[in-house]
Amino acid sequence: MASFKEYDMVVVGSGFAGSMATINFLEECKKQNKKGRVALVEVGQDGERCGASRWTMAYLRLDKNLDFDEDWVHEMKDVSNGLADEQYCLKLQKEAGTTARYLEDHGVKFVHHDEPNVLLEFKTGQHFVFPEGGGKAIISKLFEQIRGYDDCDIHFETEAIRLMTDDAGAIRGLKVRKSDGYLHDLLASNVVLACGGFEGNQEMLARYVGRNTHALPLIAPGLKYNRGAGLKMALEVGAGTAGSFDGMHCELVDTRATKPDAVMWGHNYGIVVNKESQRFYDEGKRHLFATFEMIALECWRDQNQSCFFVTDHDIMTRFKGSWVYDTTDQPPEKSDTIEGLAEKMGLDPKELKKTVDDYNAAINEREFDLMKLDGKATTGLKPNKTNWANPIIKAPFYGYPMTSHLTFTYGGVKTDLNARVLSTNDVPIPGLWAAGEMTGLFYNEYPPATSCLRSMTFGRLAGLEIAGNLGKPQGTASGPAIPSERRIDKNMRMDDAALPAEVKASA
């Protein structure tokens, strides 16, 4: 049967953003000696790796001191052609280190990686960070803390249906459908939407991104729950949008892998060919992280979702044991001849041999140097390779069959620097908050190793802000909301006595 429960905050989604919003709200309420109740709503099952956060390796763009890349804001401005919200990016730059140290204080162990072979575009001293155990370990640690609070109800197998508002448009709760099939009301003056993008919704992908999106597999099983529910609910109450809705982040994965997220990172250090054994993309155009998304999109869009990486002994020896080729659980295909490698990957041996020979013959005499954009390039090919064009000549030869998988979508709701959802006229919608990949930011391409950090950071800020506002009149902390005297109850007579003075004066 239908029912209702009352809370101070309802959070939709239990990934990075939702978990951080929940635990920070609970901790801040305890710190301020406030009684704050929260409902954490998750459409997946208890113990299931739902969403994206529990699957990712969670590479973080941080230096040895857990400080964020100071150059990322400029990169965002460049790749978005100035469309990305610069103030939002600056806020992330300022707060990301605090988020990382918060995680450490809550038991997350970071692996600090000094990269010896891949030229990073990060201004972090050739360094990046990832959690021991990946994103799953982060969620596990946060949930350990959340489950220790009596003031939090976790609602698994509960689907968010629509936002509830009062007559003045302020949030008053969330209508959900539980596993009993009935609709239930979770009443609260604050709702945090943190339920991901629309990767798992074929209708929304076709509408926003375009044709043939149904051919894109999801990079991890939990993404099936990212159906755009938060985005749809927010749009229904007048939320504004940000990010390119026809944009998405894809990655090349090993087609033979038996595990999710089997990303093949190192396309730069060999050649990538299609089913006709022809190169179709400049593998050395820019840094590895700057191009691994773009070649994946090209594979999906124009190469019928199929391509093949080819390299030789010298490269595979240099990267032995590295994340660059070892994220998959399958060894590379291997042969002492290019023709033999082609046969193992289902390619025409003569065509692949010709492509490799033409590539080798077109390479200039510059020194091969992985630690810079070395200008070791080809001439006379279509397309040319502009950096790291090392000859593929030393047997054995290696290859990986690859396809493109969808990781996350770009388009989402627009928020301010405190994670409040903004209306189409850039006015905060009272009581509505959002964080994570359902908030729009990226245009054209994704400067990597930042999505996890921004999800956790703005989830943290939302939880702290809501806890800080608890017990205060709306609009006193983060900025103006609709003053109570301007709200007209549906039972009031619409006569002159019911109108605020400023409305009378303008009448």
13 phi and psi angles, rounded to 5 deg? 110, 135
Q: What's residue 475's pLDDT?
A: 55
Give the separation between CA 197 and CA 422, rounded to whole angstroms: 17
Give the separation between CA 180 and CA 201, rounded to whole angstroms: 23
CA pseudo-torsion sign 305, 228, 440, 465: negative
pLDDT in tens, the chain (507 residues): 567 789 999 999 999 999 999 999 999 999 999 999 999 999 999 999 999 999 999 999 999 999 999 999 999 999 999 999 999 999 999 999 999 999 999 999 999 999 999 999 999 999 999 999 999 999 999 999 999 999 999 999 999 999 999 999 999 999 999 999 999 999 999 999 999 999 999 999 999 999 999 999 999 999 999 999 999 999 999 999 999 999 999 999 999 999 999 999 999 999 999 999 999 999 999 999 989 999 999 999 999 999 999 999 999 999 999 999 999 999 999 999 999 999 999 999 999 999 999 999 999 999 999 999 999 999 999 999 999 999 999 999 999 999 999 999 999 999 999 999 999 999 999 999 999 999 999 999 999 999 999 999 999 999 999 999 999 876 554 544 433 333 333 333 333 333 333 333 333
Query: Based on the number of CB atoms within 10 Å of its own CB, is 415 exposed (0-12), middle (13-18) or buried (19 or more)?
Result: buried
Q: What's residue 487's pLDDT?
A: 32
CA-wise closest residue to 247 among 52, 440, 454 = 440
Q: At what angle do helices 338-345 and 349-361 cross, to 10 degrees?
A: 130
Q: What's residue 504's pLDDT?
A: 37
CA pseudo-torsion sign 225, 227, 233, 235: positive
CA-wise closest residue to 311 among 370, 241, 230 = 370
Beta bridge partners of 164: 173
Instruction: Give the dihedral of Cα atoms 37, 43, 46, 47; nearest 10 deg.
Output: -120
Pairing relation of β-strands 127-131 and 110-114? antiparallel
Give the separation between CA 296 and CA 495, rounded to whole angstroms: 62
Q: What's residue 480's pLDDT?
A: 44
Give the separation between CA 428 and CA 202, rounded to whole angstroms: 30
CA-wise closest residue to 218 among 159, 260, 247 = 260
CA distances from 397 to 252, 348, 363, 394, 422 (A): 20, 16, 18, 7, 54
Give the separation between CA 87 and CA 207, rounded to whole angstroms: 30
CA pseudo-torsion sign 334, 337, 342, 344: negative
CA-wise closest residue to 411 among 441, 367, 374 = 441
Helix (H), strand (E) at residue 403: strand 397-409
DSSP state of 367: P
- Tokens representing 48 are 């299931």
Q: What's residue 30's pLDDT?
A: 97
Helix (H), strand (E) at residue 231: helix 229-236
Give the separation between CA 53 and CA 299, rounded to whole angstroms: 25
Give the separation between CA 122 and CA 453, rounded to whole angstroms: 15
- Residue indicated by tokens 């220790």: 148
Query: Based on the number of CB atoms within 10 Å of its own CB, is 299 exposed (0-12), middle (13-18) or buried (19 or more)?
Result: buried
Contact 160, 230 (CB under 8 A): yes
DSSP state of 322: -
Give the separation between CA 22 and CA 8, rounded to whole angstroms: 11
Give the separation between CA 379 and CA 363, rounded to whole angstroms: 7
Contact 135, 55 (CB under 8 A): yes
Q: What contacts 206, CB < 8 A, 6 or more positions away? A: 213, 214
231 phi and psi angles, rounded to 5 deg? -60, -45
Q: What's residue 472's pLDDT?
A: 87
Contact 415, 439 (CB under 8 A): yes
Q: Where are the alpha helices (DSSP H) in 32-157?
A: 72-79, 86-105, 134-146
Contact 264, 368 (CB under 8 A): no
Q: No. of H helices and E strands in the chain?
A: 13, 19
- Residue indicated by tokens 């400049």: 282
Alpha carbon 462 to its chain's center: 18
